Structure 1
Amino acid sequence: MPIKIPADLPACAALESENIFVMTEDRAVRQDIRPLEIAIVNLMPTKIATETQLLRLLGNSPIQVNITLLRTAEHQSRHTSAQHLERFYKTLAEIRESSFDGMIITGAPVEHLPFEEVDYWDELLEIMAFAQRRVYSTLYICWAAQAALYHFYGIPKHPLPAKVSGVFEHGILHPECRLFRGFDDTFPAPHSRHTEVRAADAAAVPELRLLARSEEAGLALLERRDHSQVFMTGHLEYDRDTLDAEYRRDRDRGLDPQIPQHYYPGDNPDNVPHMYWRAHAHLFYSNWLNYYVYQETPFSLSAIVEEGMGRSPRA
């Protein structure tokens, strides 16, 4: 989908170089259509890289998508300049009276902490409550998926004996699910986490449906049955070199990380990593936008609130 973003957002040049259809604000105002409104709550420290990854997957289709970038007000980023955040990001207080067709909430490197000890936990609860009332479908990624499953359904996260890092093959449990339209029988996806949500815990919740799992990496994808919430424990949005950068960062810190599995040719970090999940990544995000957002969301965003169409569970 053509995504409407500021012309000076750093992701703009990168996406245009890849022939992703980026629409500047000046051009967008001349189109007499009702675009999709998508909010991205970016909890990652590497905000510019994450922006680019997600915008790449949301772009390049006939429907215009307006992007609103959100950050937490309570957390001070050490990796992204204050000028960038002030220029391109809003906080919940600034959009509290708005509604959105879809929302994406990213992961965050805070797995080692109990949820309640994360410094922006209370604000994240407010954001998730906002999504209940004013967002038609919300996609939670990695730690955000764990946080939402814990908050809404009481599903705990469990520490793993070793970090799950690499690209893993996943079996599809419900091939009729529209998120998998056009998928092969199995699909690869990167994972990078120290904790897990166990399939048995999620399967015990009647409102949830398990969608995909990996023999090596565990539960990968599940949803609320009314499509208002989708939970992804991996990172289909990752670039070719994201796991490589994480591995080298941890190695340079003296953490003795394991080499990401099924990633480097010959398991040799000196080799350029394989990139073999991007086609399914594009397909997944296109399917979410098309089948869970565009074809179901009301034409008037006010109807999400007025008609109770923000359908997530009431915590």
Structure 2
Amino acid sequence: MPIKIPADLPARLELENENIFVMTEERARSQDIRPLELAIVNLMPTKIATETQLLRLLGNSPLQVNITLLRTMQHESKNTPLQHLERFYRTFEQIRNRRFDGMVVTGAPVEHLPFEAVDYWQELRDIMEYANSHVYSTLYICWAAQAALYHFYGIPKYDLPTKRSGIFRHHVLHASCRLFRGFDDEFPAPHSRHTEIRAEDVAKVPNLRILAESDEAGLTLVESVDHKQVFMTGHLEYDRGTLDAEYRRDLLRGMNPQPPLHYYPQEDPQRMPLMTWRAHAHLFYSNWLNYYVYQDTPFDFTREAGDDNV
């Protein structure tokens, strides 16, 4: 799926070097097709790295996707240049009259805080409510998955005794689910979090279905029964070196972290990590775009609200 992005977005060169099909806005305007409209609410401090990770996976399918990057106004980013945010990002107020076929909401390093103590919590609540009525299917990742399950269903998060970091095996619980088309019975995925959502709490909600879980990492993938909400507690979008960078950052901070589990060969942090989840990551995002966004969304869905296209 060629993703339509600005020609000067930093992710473009890296993706093209990896043979990922990207399309500039100028070329996209010459094609007479109905592209998918996809919003990415990027809550991560390292926004450029997260953009690249997600665009890499969203660009692996045969349809054109228009990407709109969103940021919160209530939080001042200290790790991304203001020029980048002003050039490539929009705010919720600028798009709230539009509709999107799909939306991805990323995680954020705020797990140590109660949800209500996060400085952009009210703005995120507004975005999540907007997504329920203006987005056909929304994928919530890691902390955003916990936040959405709490906001919509009152499901709490729990502190973990130590950070859950590593590559963990996950059991597919519903092989007939379209998100798992082409999947093996088990699949690896990265996790990096200090809190968890528990399966017994999710099981009490009739509108939710648990799709995958891990013996070590716990609940991993949940969906609403209408497929309009997908909650992933892990990070299939992570690069080979993301967990390594987090581990070495925490070492420098004197936090005495444990090395990520099942990540380094022979559990040796001096060796290059193995990339074992890439194929399932591409397949998962391709399935979500195809079966939950493209195949189900009405053709005129994004035109129903009177797009302002600002």
Report TM bin, short chain. Answer: over 0.9
> Per-residue CA shift, 1:22-47, capped at 9, x if unaligned?
00000000000000000000000000
In structure 2, the gaps of 5 or more residues are none
RMSD: 1.0
* Structure 1: segments with no counterpart, 5+ residues: 307-315
> CA 1:134–1:19 in 2, change beyond 3 Å: closer, same or farther?
same
2:54 equivalent in structure 1: 54
Contact conserved, 2:72 with 2:123, CA < 8 A, in 1?
yes
1:305: how far off? Answer: 5.6
Say yes or no: does 1:36 pair with 2:36: yes
TM-superposition CA deviations, 1:234-283 (whole Å, max 9, x none): 00000000000000000100000001000001111110001010000000
Identity over aligned pairs, percent: 74
Aligned runs of 1:59-78 on 2, under 5 Å? 59-78=59-78
Residue in 2 aligned with 1:167? 167
1:218 matched to 2:218? yes
> How far is the alpha carbon of 1:133 from its aligned partner?
1.2
Report the Cα distance in structure 2 between the residues aligned to 1:245 and 1:127, rounded to whole angstroms: 30
When the two structures are aligned, how many residues end up with a matched partner? 306
In structure 2, what is the equivalent of residue 235 of structure 1?
Answer: 235
1:88-121 Cα deviation digits (max 9, x unpaired)? 0000010011100000000000000000000000
| Structure 2 contact 104–138 (Cα < 8 Å) conserved | yes
Shift of 1:304: 6.1
Matches within 5 A, 1:128-167: 128-167=128-167
Instruction: Give 3-state SS (helix, strand or coil) of 1:43's partner.
Output: coil
Native 8 Å contact 1:222 1:232 kept in 2: yes
Q: Distance in 1 between matches of 2:180 and 2:205?
A: 22
- Matched to 1:52, the amino acid is T
- Residue of structure 1 in register with 2:244 after alignment: 244
Preserved contact between residue 60 and residue 286 of structure 2 (Cα < 8 Å): no
Letter in 1 for 2:228: S
Partner amino acid, structure 2, of 1:27: R
Structure 1: how far apart are the matches of 2:197 and 2:305? 31
Describe the SS at the equivalent of 1:272.
Answer: coil
Question: What is the CA-CA distance between 1:301 and the residue it aligns to?
Answer: 2.2
Query: What secondary structure sits across from 2:166 in the alignment?
Result: strand
Normalising by the residue count of structure 1, what TM-score does the alignment of the two structures yield? Answer: 0.96
1:101 touches 1:137 (CA, 8 Å); kept in 2? yes
Q: Does 1:184 align with 2:184?
A: yes
Query: Distance in 1 between the 2:153 and 2:110 partners?
Result: 20
Q: How many angstroms apart in 2 are the aligned matches of 1:195 and 1:183?
A: 27
Q: Which amino acid aligns with 2:94?
A: E
3-state SS, counterpart of residue 102 of structure 1: strand
Contact 1:265/1:273 (<8 A) preserved = yes
Give, in angstroms, the shift of residue 303 of structure 1: 6.6
TM-score (norm. length: structure 2): 0.97
- For residue 128 of structure 2, give the secondary structure of its aligned residue in structure 1: helix
Task: Check conservation: 2:3, 2:58, Cα contact below 8 A.
Answer: yes
CA distance in 2, matches of 1:194, 1:19: 35
Written as runs of structure 1 = structure 2, the 5 A alignment for 1:291-310 is 291-302=291-302
Say which SS state the counterpart of residue 237 (structure 2) adopts.
coil
